[in-house]
Amino acid sequence: MPDSTVCLSFDFDALSVWLAYDRVTPAMLNRGEYGARVGVPRILDLLDGHGLKATFFVPGHTVESFRDETEAIVAGGHEVAHHSYAHVDPSGQSYDEERADMERAWAVLEGIGVRPLGFRSPSADLSASTLELVEELGFLYDSSLMTDDYRPFRPRIGDRVSRESPLERGRDAGFWELPMCFELDDWVHFQFNFDPYRKGGAPPSHVLEIWRAEFDWMDEHVDGGVLTICMHPQVIGRGHRIGMLDELIGHCLDAGARFERMGDVAQRLEGSR
Ligand SMILES: [Zn+2]
C-alpha cells in the first residue's frame, strides 16, 4: 500500500512579502491584504468543507496586522508555524539580526497561544546559520529545502564546500526536513509582477496537471510518501485557483491519501524513530 500523505501548507505573508521588495507602493500592499481579506476565509471554508486540517506559516508581522484572520486559522484547528517576523530573506542577515528576527516572531506566536513546531524560511533561502538556529530554538521540523522530494529527512548542518574543494558533509540536524519545491509552489506559477517582472498567470489546468502528476507518481512509487504543497492565500484565493485546489483535494482523497498538518507528520516521524 502506498500510504500517501498530503500536506497543504499556506504561507500567509500578507503585506510582509511586499515590504521585502526594494520599491514598496500602496497598491502592492493592497495585493497582500487580499490574502487576509479574501484568501484566508476562502481557504478555511474549503478546508472545512472537506474536513481537512492544514499548516499556515505566518510571519509575526502578519499575526500583528491581521489578528482576527490568524485567530480564525487557530480556531479552525489548523497549525500555525513560524515564517520569520517580516519576511526578510535570511541570506542577507547577520547572525544576530537573524536570531533576533526569529525570536521576535516566536514571541508574537506565543502571544496568541501558539508554540510553533515548524519553520519555513522566507524567500525559500537560508543563511549559513539558519539551520543551526532552527535547531537551537527547538523546532521539530523545517520546510525550506529541496534536497529530497517525497521523503522527510534530517538535513545536515555544517556542510563545507567551495569551487576548490568537494563537499565535506556536516552532521545530521536534530529536526526533520519536510521538503518543498518551486514546482509545488503557487507563487511561481501564478503570481504576476511588474518589477521585478514575473510572468505568472498560468492557467490552473496547467498547474493541476503538474500537482496531480506529482501526487500520482509518489502514490504509485513511494511507500509512505509525503507531498508538501506550498500556497499563498493572496495567490490561491482567486476563484479559478481555489476551484483547482478543490479538484486536487478530491483527486487525492479518491486515491486514499491522508491529509495531515506538517507538525503531525513531524511528530509521527519523531515517535517512530
Ligand atoms: Zn512567505
Model pLDDT, residue 272:
84
Model pLDDT, residue 196:
86
**DSSP 3-state of 8:** strand
What's the average model confidence in pLDDT over 175-182?
A: 98
Q: Is the previous residue joined to 196 through a cis bond, with omega within 30 degrees of 0?
A: yes
Cell digits for 211? 500537482
Q: Are strands 258-259 and 5-11 parallel, antiparallel or unpaired?
A: parallel
Alpha-carbon span 12 to 66, nearest angstrom: 10
Cell digits for 169? 558533509
φ, ψ dihedrals at 156, nearest 5°: -95, 145
pTM for this prediction: 0.97
What's the average model confidence in pLDDT over 49-73?
A: 98
CA of 144 to the centre of ligand 1 (A): 10
CA of 254 to the centre of ligand 1 (A): 30
CA of 12 to the centre of ligand 1 (A): 7
pLDDT digits (tens, 9 = 90+) for 190-221: 999 988 899 999 999 999 999 999 999 999 99
Cell digits for 50? 472537506
Does 1 have pLDDT greater than 80? no
Q: Which amino acid is at 82?
A: H
CA of 215 to the centre of ligand 1 (A): 23
Residues 7 and 259: beta-carbon distance below 8 Å? yes
Does 2 have pLDDT greater than 80? no
CA of 95 to the centre of ligand 1 (A): 20
pLDDT digits (tens, 9 = 90+) for 33-46: 999 999 999 999 99
Q: Are strands 156-157 and 171-172 parallel, antiparallel or unpaired?
A: antiparallel
